[in-house]
Structure 1
Amino acid sequence: MKTVFAALILMMSTFSFAQSEVYTGYFSSKAVGGYDTVAYFTEGEPVEGKSEFQTKYKGANWYFASQMNLDLFKQDPEKYAPQYGGYCAWAVSAKNDFAKGDPEHWSIVNGKLYLNYNQNIKDKWNQDVPGHIAQGDKNWPTLIAK
């Protein structure tokens, strides 16, 4: 019985699951950890969304701080959704792999939102932002096709 249980655990490892196009965490359906992606552009800082202002997009639930932000997102989700589905931009570019993006470690570059895993990783990202974006844009289509 223990052997069967161990085999099931191995089969359920994170490597056996296909990655979603939008990062939500394992036990959540919230994109960007429930933060309002429009607020990064309008407020210049992360703002937590509210459950009364939400929509579905690319299989995830997106939360917003206001009806106005929800409406802006619905009009043009690609403008406000983070690049690489909210996964860590540095991991996508430098490692050609997935890692969670943290809504507190972000940047907007050329009108696009990028999230990183933590401040240390964001510092690495900041060392060559144009290079990381070029490599990430190249890696992303093959990562989500796996």
Structure 2
Amino acid sequence: MTAQRQQPNQTGSKSLFRLVIAAIALAALLLPVGAPAATTPRIISDRFSGLAIDGFDPVSYFVDGKALLGLPDFEASQGGVVWRFRNEGNRASFLAHPEVYGPQFGGYDPTDVARGVTVAGNPRFFVVVEERLFLFNREESRDAFAADPSRYLPRAEARWPALEEDLPQ
């Protein structure tokens, strides 16, 4: 009697399996081939709030020379994430030139990117080198990078495209 009860379930699961395979095949036919690549790097953001770099104002690193939290009154959406700013001027500057003010490597630690891994940078550990913002996971990484950026940047820049491609969407 047990075998009889299992028989219909096995048949039903085979039918379901065939239906799923057919749906996948149909979806593959309907999807466009060669979807365009994203033009902006993936930016580290809070998965619940969507805030980039923990709500710190990316322009303040350049203007004030320190990490300052942005305010909810001055937000902007750019690159698929929400950025916060200290004032309207910082917001306008960022929106005019996000490639200048946004963190390099999407906010991932460049010393780790140079090693071939992605580790989120902490907005409190930063350095601006050659008018580019870099965030670091640890103070030691920041200090090593600041002492000799040329030791890390060529390797990080070479490895970043492949690492960025493998990041979850």
- TM-score category of the 2 structures, normalised to the smaller one: 0.7 to 0.9
Runs of 4+ with deviation above 4 angstroms: none
Q: 2:123 aligns with which of 103, 107, 130?
A: 103
TM-superposed deviation, 1:126: 3.2
Checking the alignment, whether the CA contact within 8 Å between 1:102 and 1:117 is kept in structure 2 is yes
TM-superposed deviation, 1:89: 1.5
Residue 103 of structure 1 aligns to a residue whose secondary structure is strand
Where does residue 76 of structure 2 map in the other structure? 55
Please, what is the CA RMSD of the aligned residues? 1.5
Unaligned runs of 5+ in 1: 1-19
Where does residue 55 of structure 2 map in the other structure? 34
Checking the alignment, whether the CA contact within 8 Å between 1:36 and 1:49 is kept in structure 2 is yes
1:109-135 CA-partner distances (Å, limit 9, x unpaired):
111000100112223323431121111
With over 3 angstroms needed to count, the CA separation of the structure-2 counterparts of 1:112 and 1:23, relative to structure 1, is: same
Identical aligned residues as a percent: 28
TM-superposed deviation, 1:58: 1.4
Letter in 1 for 2:144: K
* TM-score calculated relative to the size of structure 1: 0.80
Q: How far, CA to CA, are the matches of 2:90 and 2:140 in structure 1?
A: 30
Alignment of 1:131-146 (within 5 A): 131-146=151-166
* TM-score calculated relative to the size of structure 2: 0.70
Where does residue 97 of structure 2 map in the other structure? 76
Unaligned runs of 5+ in 2: 1-40
Q: RCO greater where, 1 or 2, for CA within 8 Å and sep 6 or more? A: 1
